[in-house]
Every structure is written in C-alpha cells, then in structure tokens.
Structure 1
Amino acid sequence: MKIIQTPTIISQYLSQFNIQEKITSPQNLSFQLRYYNPGETILKEGNELDGIYFQVTGRTKVTSSIETGKSLLLRFCHPHAIFGDIELLQKIEIQSQVEAVEETSLLFLDKLSVELYLMKDPLFLGELSKHLSYKLQTCTTASRVNLLATVEARFASYLLTTRDIHNHFGKEITTNQTEEIASLIGTTHRHLNRIILSFLKKKIIKKEKKILIVLDWGFLEELSNGVRYE
C-alpha cells in the first residue's frame, strides 16, 4: 500500500467521486488516498476496521471465508464502491476480504472522523443506504449462485464477470489459476478440471500451452443465465 497525501490529487478524486453530493461538509474532513497494487489485500477478514474506504479507481474482489478455510467469491467491485460501512454501523470486525484485482485507489477516512461527523450526516447516511441495498442484492445473488447453480454455471458466471471487468482479464486464464478459481466458486480443483475438459471437447474454450482461451462467449452467456459476480 502507498499513501498519497498530496492535497491537489486528493481534491481531484473527491471531485471525481462527487463527494460534495454525498457528504454535507467534506472540507472539514481529512482524507487520505491509498493506492494498492494487484493482489494486495485492502481489508482482511477478522481484523479491526480502521475507517471507511471509497473506491475511486481500479477493480477489487470481495470474498468470504468458509469453515474449510477456503474463500467464496461474493462480487467484483468498481468505482464508486464503499467498504467498511457494515462494520461501522454494526461495530463489528471486518466481515469480508477485499483485494485489489488491478491497480486501485481508494479515498480513506479514519474511523473516529466517520463516527464524529459522517454518522450524524443525513446526506451521507442516505448515500450509505444505497450502497447497503446494493450489497444485499449482490450477496443474495452470490448466495443463490453458490448454493443452487451448477458448477458449470458458476464457472461461466466467473468468466463472464472477469471479461466485463477488463478487456483481457478473463479471455485468457493460465492453468495454474484453476485451483484458486475452484475455491472462489465453491468447488474442488478436480471437479473444475473435469468441467474445463468438457468445455475443451465442446470447443467452448481452447488450450494453448498453459493458457485457456474462451472461444464461445455466447454459450457461457446462456449457461450463466445472466448472473454476474458484481
């Protein structure tokens, strides 16, 4: 993580985030800009929350651990997602792991400032309610997918979501990523490999050395029933 405290850069992102429409007196608050490289953890499940995060650039991945120690994918997030809202309202430890998928910047406001100012601000609380309702919707979708959808459908939804996130991410995946993907979509590495083999035989994907390339996005679209992890 890199912390940027240059006022002009922070002001630029505050303007981009339309912060004046979401907080009554943003000029009274001291924001930080936190920058993360791909793969860096932004929030770690089980830790104490240090403040609230407003995503202004990049993409993030939100996962939740299960009893086996593996993680289930909840959603991919983009600007202008908010992290830490549930924990602040409920006064609980961090509930989900948030990781940068690509280079990502977030505006950060410390916990004390949030409790003193934002939790008494009707404008901010109205904005927070929109984000909380969206999280409820995406978590409900993720739960339905993970519990009821076939593994084939989950894999299709995963590939389609990653394709939508970035032009090249999801079009090609390396075979050494399959174990992580299996964990994220709630299956075993062996079962996912069987599905990949089936997709290869049906020419939905092809394999070049250690890279899998999607050939038939239309089939995946139909298989996923329009469900995305976002």
Structure 2
Amino acid sequence: MKIIHDGDTIQHYLVKYQLDNLFMQSQPNSVPLQLRIYEPNELILREGEELDGIYFQVAGKTKVSSSVETGKALLLRFCHPLSVFGDIELIQQVVIQSQVEAVEMTTFLFINKRTVETELMTSYTFLHELLKHLSYKLQTCTTASRINLLASVEERFASYLLTTRLKNEFGKEMLTPHISEIASLIGTTPRHLNRVIVKLNEMNIIRKEKKKLYVLDWERLDELSNGMLYD
C-alpha cells in the first residue's frame, strides 16, 4: 500500500464523484483525507480485524469475499468506483465483515475512524451517502439470494449473462471472466457450471473458445432465464 498526500488529486476525485459536499458541515481542512493505492492482489481489508477507517474506492477494481465454515472463501461481488467499504462496520460497531482485495491497481480516498466518529457521523449529508451505499448492497444481496435459491443453474447463468449485458451498476459487480468466480457468484460449483456451458454450447446459444464465452442467441438466453435478472 502507498499513502499519498496530494491535495490536487484528492480534490479531483472529490469533484469527480461529488464527494466534496460530504464535508461541508466540518471545519475547512479538518477532515484528513488520504490517497491509498493498492497493487493487484494486495489485501485491503481482512475479515475479523478492527476497522481503521472508511474507504471510498475511486479507481480500479476490488473483489469482496467472505469465509465459510469449510475454510473456503465465498465470492460475494466485484466492486468498481464509486464503492464504499467500512460503512457496515462503522454503523454496527463490529469487526470487518468481509475480505476486500485489489484485482488491479486500486485507489481509495481514506478517512480514519476517529475523524468519522467525531466529525462526520452527525452530518446528515455524510450519513445520507452511507445510507445510499448500504441500501444498494442490500438490494444486490437480496436479488442474488432470491435468484440463487429459486432458480436452476441454467436459469442463473442465463440471468448472469443477461445482467452483465445490460451494463447497469449491478452488472458491473457481477461481471467476471473466470468460470470459478462466476460459479461462486451464482451459487454453484465450477464443474456444474461447465456442464451447463457445454449444454448451451451444443444448443448454439453460446460459444466457448478457450477462456472466452460468446453469446450467439440472446433471445433464447432470455427465454432460458424465465425473466429473472440480477438487477
């Protein structure tokens, strides 16, 4: 991790994502913002540890996972700007709930925990921003859980492909080129998903070439999804 104190770059990200108004109720320059830059595969937050502050992801891509009793990690989602980490832990006053890892070089605006608790948690504007991100996380988790519980693997995979095609925010979080990660996201095993891919390939709905998938017939894929989408 690199910590950079660059006022111009910080201001650029504040304006780009309209975050500058979050700190208007505080005294000028009283919120110590840091730029934190992480390399690919570098751990940002470790599940079970104490949170040191709140993280606004302003560049790059991260992977969020959670451990399960078997000792394996369950992939929850991929995140792109603007995403927030630490909001649940700050509000619930608990340890870090999920592991966050950089997929590519990723940049955050970071505010330490003490500043958040003493200067920002009484700000309506700041709390409204946290609420927006919390409600979005609830929406995505609820939708994914509903589909994963009620739909077959074929329906889930079709829904996944259709969602990523729509290019909405939820689709951004779901998109991944790796079969094992897709399987984890839609609640199945890589072996089962590979069987579904072979079947859809034989039906000429998709085409698999090495590590790439191509959708050949979106209409039939839509029929297969039975109208369910991760959105």
TM-score w.r.t. structure 1 length?
Answer: 0.81
Q: 1:12 to 1:187 in 2, by over 3 A?
A: same
Matching of residue 43 in structure 1 with residue 45 in structure 2: yes
Q: 1:146 to 1:70 in 2, by over 3 A?
A: farther
Q: Which amino acid aligns with 2:5?
A: Q
Q: 1:220 to 1:101 in 2, by over 3 A?
A: farther
Matched residue, 2:11 = 11
Q: Which amino acid aligns with 1:187?
A: T
Unaligned runs of 5+ in 1: none
Matched residue, 1:29 = 31
Q: Is the 8 A contact 1:74 1:142 kept in 2?
A: no
Unaligned runs of 5+ in 2: none
TM-score w.r.t. structure 2 length?
Answer: 0.81
CA distance, structure 2, for counterparts of residue 51 and residue 152 of structure 1: 41
1:40 is displaced (CA, Å) by 3.7
1:160 is displaced (CA, Å) by 4.2
Q: Is the 8 A contact 1:71 1:184 kept in 2?
A: no
1:218 is displaced (CA, Å) by 4.0
Aligned length, in residue pairs: 222
CA distance, structure 2, for counterparts of residue 133 and residue 209 of structure 1: 38
Q: 1:73 to 1:141 in 2, by over 3 A?
A: farther
Report Cα offsets for 1:36-83 as digits up to 9, x if no partner: 344443323222211101122233333333333344444433322211
Report Cα offsets for 1:103-133 as digits up to 9, x if no partner: 4322111111111111122221122222222
Q: How does 1:1-230 map to 2 (within 5 A)?
A: 1-23=1-23, 24-25=25-26, 27-162=29-164, 164=167, 173=177, 177-224=178-225, 225=227, 227-228=229-230
1:20 is displaced (CA, Å) by 2.7
CA distance, structure 1, for counterparts of residue 40 and residue 155 of structure 2: 27
CA distance, structure 1, for counterparts of residue 219 and residue 102 of structure 2: 28
1:28 is displaced (CA, Å) by 1.1
Q: CA RMSD in A?
A: 2.7
**SS of residue matched to 2:121:** helix
Q: Is the 8 A contact 2:41 2:104 kept in 1?
A: yes
Q: Is the 8 A contact 1:36 1:105 kept in 2?
A: yes
**SS of residue matched to 1:136:** helix
Q: Is the 8 A contact 1:75 1:142 kept in 2?
A: no
Report Cα offsets for 1:90-115 as digits up to 9, x if no partner: 11111123333444322111111111
Q: Is the 8 A contact 1:64 1:74 kept in 2?
A: yes
CA distance, structure 2, for counterparts of residue 147 and residue 182 of structure 1: 14
CA distance, structure 2, for counterparts of residue 64 and residue 219 of structure 1: 34
